[in-house]
Amino acid sequence: MISNAIGRRIEDLERLSPPLTARPDLEAYWDETIASFAVKPLNATRTRVDTPFFDMSVYKVSYEGFDDTPIHGWYLVPRKAEETREKVPCVVLYHGYTGSRGYPEDYASFVLMGVAVFAIDVRGQNGETGNLLAQHHGMAKGWITQGILHRDTCYYKAITIDAIKALDWASEQPEVDPGRICAQGASQGGGLALIAAALSDKPAIAVAHIPNMCQMDFGILNSSSSLSEAATFCERFPEHLDAVLETLSYYDNMNLAHRIRIPLFVSVGLKDPTTMPETIYAAYNRMACDKRIVPSPFSGHTVTGDQNRQAMAFISEWLL
């Protein structure tokens, strides 16, 4: 028995097992959805761009995911691997809510490891990527309540398919070893990394830092994150609460946790009011894969240097 408060807090989180919110057709729904999008063409382009970093080659990429929206990304390759035609691992990166893919030089640490990178914009947010998703009802401020009244029209479906198609694109690149791909992200990106790991056969491992999209019924009630937008929507339209909760259940990593079979690294901050530790552990505890979680007792919604370093070591351990 651990006698200090920190240890007891972690022990309590490790025992969490809230009831699933999955609908009976969850498995069939995703099997049919993934099969239907598998044949959708990427219609991708990649164009070389300049970088001040001599040891990496950078390409600007555009591809199509859920619909005809061009999803923009940066593709980085170690120049040495490109010259020798050596196939290298690739990390596919998803950013946090309201963010963007940023600049290619932001990912140089991966290239130093000898790893390629594909970092994408999440549609409609603070990057170059737009959003052609149809809207048939008013929204709360932000993006996640777009189409939220049905599983097939919602923003979560669009960004989930976009994320999966990013893995497809990476797996087809001549410089990439398709058997050594990592899905990675933080916050919103961590949630996308988890759902991609659950639904795609492309990643060999996944890294989910402080992931969102976990136990979303708890999140909509308590979180200060993007799910507060869904709470605002339901406050305005209380008659739609059941429909919103049903939609979210199809994208909840707690309900999809059993489908993750690849090695997984997760980080969590015990003082995080955004992706609360209760939600992350609710999903993590249901995973039956080779998994590792690194809690930071004193962190909020951030990834500590130690957590990031351990994640890089995890990638090296499994892919290099």
Q: Catalytic residues, which ones?
A: 187, 272, 301
Rounded Cα distance, 70 and 41, in Å: 12
Contact assessment for residue 299 and residue 306, using Cβ atoms and an 8 Å cutoff = no
Chain centroid to CA 232: 24
- CA distances to 70, 71, 282 from 43, in Å: 9, 10, 38
Chain centroid to CA 227: 15
Token pair, residue 308, equals 């990031």
**Which amino acid is it at 166?**
A
Chain centroid to CA 75: 17
Rounded Cα distance, 292 and 170, in Å: 25
- Count of CB atoms situated within 10 Å of the CB of 150: 15
Contact assessment for residue 75 and residue 46, using Cβ atoms and an 8 Å cutoff = yes
